[in-house]
Amino acid sequence: MEPGPGSGSGQGQGQGPGPWAGTACVVTGASRGFGRSLARLLAPQLGPGSVLLLLARSEDADTGNGTGNGTGGGPGLRVQCVPADLGSEEGMRRASAALRELLQDSSFGRLLLINNAGSLGDISKSFQDLSDLQEINTYFSFNISSALCLTSTALRAFGARPGCSRTVVNISSLCAREPFPSWALYCAAKAARDMMFRVLAVEEPGLRVLSYAPGPLDTDMQLLARTRTGDLGMRQKFQRMQEQGQLINSSVSAQKLLQLLQEDSFPSGAHVDFYDI
Ligand SMILES: NC(=O)c1ccc[n+]([C@@H]2O[C@H](COP(=O)([O-])OP(=O)(O)OC[C@H]3O[C@@H](n4cnc5c(N)ncnc54)[C@H](OP(=O)(O)O)[C@@H]3O)[C@@H](O)[C@H]2O)c1
């Protein structure tokens, strides 16, 4: 890994500037669900000279506890929300421009990019009913291509520098590994993303790359899963998970990711599941 300021777990929370001073932190899909919970937990961890850039279509990506929309989490943190539809060319241009502008500041000692934004796509149809090329391309453009382009843009803008560290997180899923009936688009996108980030990890051994599967979360996405999944068996499985209280609170899973990042001992490119930890 690239040894950065405070890298490793030696500097605990609440000890002076904390482990993540001078960090440029970017979270996509931070307006709701897991991304929002993660941004709320990250904000107090980002020390002086840090910026938290939040990307989603809606602007209400505040980080909670009065830390949203530019008022900062820890002292000296600036929070910036940029509305951008990562499924559109215009949105990607806006997001990429915001990234480049942020990362041109060479005073940052650390880059932390969390590729979290995602969607289920049309889960009502079986494989054989997926024949609309434009719909399929639009889905993959948001769920695969945007993460690739944002990550490459960020890495070019924040190149390897002595004493700096760069970490890229891909929010993955069990679906990267297991086929779910009716979920061809989602499973394919999650599998592709995992492999894409594994390639990045082997190309750039100085980078820290993690695919984190957050477990079944109690979010809007799960509501869609249990109401819209075409396959009856899967839909009932999702309904049972909710009825039996098996869904995970986003903050609990986000806290595990934070712990993984703070310990910083995962093999680069690894897929780590909530239930592995
Ligand atoms: N929920 C689960 O059980 C579960 C399980 C495993 C993995 N995951 C993964 O965890 C991540 C977060 O899931 P979640 O459950 O928190 O989902 P969610 O509640 O549906 O939230 C999705 C986030 O992505 C943003 N987003 C959606 N479309 C966008 C677009 N076109 N451009 C920019 N941002 C967009 C949304 O913000 P706007 O609507 O404001 O744009 C929102 O902030 C996803 O990658 C998901 O695949 C979820």
Domain ranges of the chain: 23-216+250-264
Query: Residue written as tokens 């592995």?
Result: 276
Question: Is the Cβ–Cβ distance between 165 and 2 less than 8 Å?
Answer: yes
Q: For a pocket test of ligand 1, which of 140, 221, 228 has the largest count of ligand atoms closer than 8 A to its C-beta?
A: 221
Residue at 12: amino acid letter:
G
May I ask the CATH architecture of the domain 23-216+250-264? 3-Layer(aba) Sandwich (3.40)
User: What residues contact residue 163 under an 8 Å CB cut-off, 6+ apart?
Assistant: 3, 4, 5, 109
Q: How confident is the model at residue 62, as a pLDDT?
A: 56
Q: Which atom of ligand 1 is least distant from the CA of 247?
A: 3
AA letter at 136: I
Q: Which pLDDT score is estimated for 17? A: 45
Ligand 1 pocket mutation pick from 93, 142, 169, 219 by most atoms within 8 angstroms of CB: 219
Please report, in tens digits, the pLDDT of each residue of the chain (277 residues total).
333 333 333 333 334 445 689 999 999 999 999 999 999 999 999 999 999 999 999 976 555 544 443 434 677 899 999 999 999 999 999 999 999 999 999 999 999 999 999 999 999 999 999 999 999 999 999 999 999 999 999 999 999 999 999 999 999 999 999 999 999 999 999 999 999 999 999 999 999 999 999 999 999 999 999 999 999 999 999 999 999 999 999 999 999 999 999 999 999 999 999 999 9
CA distance linking residue 95 with residue 152, whole number of Å: 13
Ligand 1 centroid – CA 33 distance (Å)? 7
The residues with which 25 forms a beta bridge, in sequence order, are: 52, 112
Residues in the chain: 277
Which residue's CA is the nearest one to ligand 1's atom 45? 118
- Ligand 1 binding residues, C-beta < 6 A: 29-35, 56-58, 85-87, 116-119, 142, 171, 173, 213-214, 216-217, 219-222
- DSSP single-letter state for residue 20: B
| CA pair distance 273, 269, nearest whole angstrom | 13
Are 114 and 87 contacting, i.e. CB atoms less than 8 angstroms apart? no
Measured from the CA of 115, which atom of ligand 1 is nearest?
45
Q: HSE on the CB side for 215, CA within 13 Å?
A: 21
For residue 28, report the distance from its CA to the centre of ligand 1, in Å. Answer: 9
| Ligand 1 atom closest to Cα of residue 34 | 16
> What pLDDT, on the 0 to 100 scale, is given for residue 59?
78
Q: What is the atom index within ligand 1 of the atom nearest the CA of 28?
A: 34
Q: Indicate the SS3 state at residue 118.
A: coil
**Would you give the DSSP letter of residue 231?**
S
Q: How far is CA 166 from CA 92, 114, 200, 217, in A?
A: 22, 11, 12, 27
